[in-house]
Amino acid sequence: MQFVYQLRANGVTDSDVLRVMETTRREDFVSPTFKARAGEDTPLPIACGQTISQPSIVGLMTQALQVTKRCKVLEIGTGSGYQAAILAKLARRVYTIERHKPLARAASRLFQDMDFTNITVVASDGTTGMPEQSPFDRILMTAAAEDPPANLLAQLRIGGIMVLPVGQSDTVQTLLKVVKHEEGLDYHALGDVRFVPLIEGLAEDIADT
């Protein structure tokens, strides 16, 4: 209950988002070392030097994305898979891209164990998106870019919504909601956030085979 209280106190008010987050165990997505801290509203380290985002930020981003059961969603930055699991409970289909193969593999295995049938994990460079599955109703980036990547905006359906952190890495970034209309794009700033940077290309991981 304290978990949901924290989310509410930080502005997550959408009842569907709160319900789904209450039933998605964050401890399942972190390493044994950090399981005891999974209920805290802080980012935590995961493999490959990355982080699982702060729950209240996950909630605010999910809420801003206005996901419905009809939505086909693209996520850039699978990481632990926590955000993708939350999206998958609200959407029809989720495609999620991760540049670190070990993270993509671990998340994929986790989704299988959890009986998700509507999540596809792809190990590749998310900046190019997934043209073969486009257009997407919703796109969520969980790594920060200086600007919204043009490839991704092109793969967003008219009427679609994209949520992403923008700004220089290692400084405060702005959470941006972009709505695509026939006539162009609308931008709404949602507040300050801090994310790991979006990096082009597939990562070379030492443990990779």
* Under rule CB under 6 A, residue 14 binds ligand SAH: no
Three-class secondary structure of residue 119 per DSSP: strand
In the bound complex, what is the minimum distance in angstroms from residue 88's beta carbon to ligand SAH? 12
DSSP bridge pairs for 129: none
State the burial class of residue 21 (Cβ atoms within 10 Å of its Cβ: 0-12, 13-18, 19+): buried
* Under rule CB under 6 A, residue 24 binds ligand SAH: no
* Under rule CB under 6 A, residue 52 binds ligand SAH: yes
Q: How many residues does the chain have?
A: 209
Stretch binding ligand SAH (CB under 6 A), from 15-23, 59-67, 93-101, 156-164: 93-101
**Closest residue by Cα to residue 163 from 196, 134, 183, 193:** 193
The verdict on whether 53 is a catalytic residue reads yes
Q: How far, in Å, CA of 134 to CA of 146, rounded?
A: 23
Binding mask 148-187 for ligand SAH (x = CB under 6 A): ----------------------------------------
DSSP for 125-177? -GGG--GGGPPEEEEEE-SBBSS--HHHHHTEEEEEEEEEEES-TTS-EEEEE
CB nearer ligand SAH, residue 45 or residue 159: 45
* Under rule CB under 6 A, residue 80 binds ligand SAH: yes
> Which residue in the set 126, 129, 160, 165 belongs to the binding site for ligand SAH (CB under 6 A)?
126
Stretch binding ligand SAH (CB under 6 A), from 13-21, 65-73, 94-102, 164-172: 94-102
Residue 115 makes CB contacts below 8 A (sequence gap 6+) with none
Contact 37/103 with Cβ under 8 angstroms? no
Binding mask 187-206 for ligand SAH (x = CB under 6 A): ---------x-xxx------
Give the binding site for ligand SAH (CB under 6 A): 50-53, 76-77, 79-80, 82-83, 97-100, 103, 125-127, 142-143, 196, 198-200
